[in-house]
Amino acid sequence: MYILNLELINYRLFKESSFKFNKGINIIFGYNSTGKTSILEAINLILTGIAINNGNIINFGSDFANVYANIMKDNITHNLKLIIKKIDEQKLRKFFF
């Protein structure tokens, strides 16, 4: 199994960004506080449903975040979609499709 691509909308510091991955090892690099860890957390979230850090998961000023991923497993592409909605300042609700 491997990730083909990842799309983040209003997720942490990403307003709207997409990332393509290759089969095998992929390297994510950049300056401090540019979102490298947020990319890894988004992958973990869409695969497990568990947020490593719930703080500021939705971009400031938004009331929702979307995480999309296309996963290849056994030569079949699986499209994963996660919508996170802010219920109030303390609660988030996750919807998986």
**CATH number of the domain that residue 77 is part of:** 3.40.50.300
- Give me the pLDDT at residue 96, please: 80
DSSP 59: P
Domain count, the chain: 1
What are the residues whose beta carbons fall under 8 Å from the beta carbon of 69, sequence distance 6 or more?
A: 3, 4, 5, 6, 7, 43, 46, 47, 79, 80
Percentage of the residues of the chain whose pLDDT score is greater than 90: 76
Q: What is the pLDDT along the chain (97 residues), one digit of tens a residue?
A: 999 999 999 999 999 999 999 999 999 999 999 999 999 999 999 999 888 877 789 998 899 999 999 999 999 999 999 999 988 776 777 788 7
- Give me the pLDDT at residue 81, please: 96
Supply the range of the domain harboring residue 55: 2-96
Report pTM.
0.89
Q: Tell me the backbone φ, ψ of residue 87, rounded to 5 degrees.
A: -85, -50
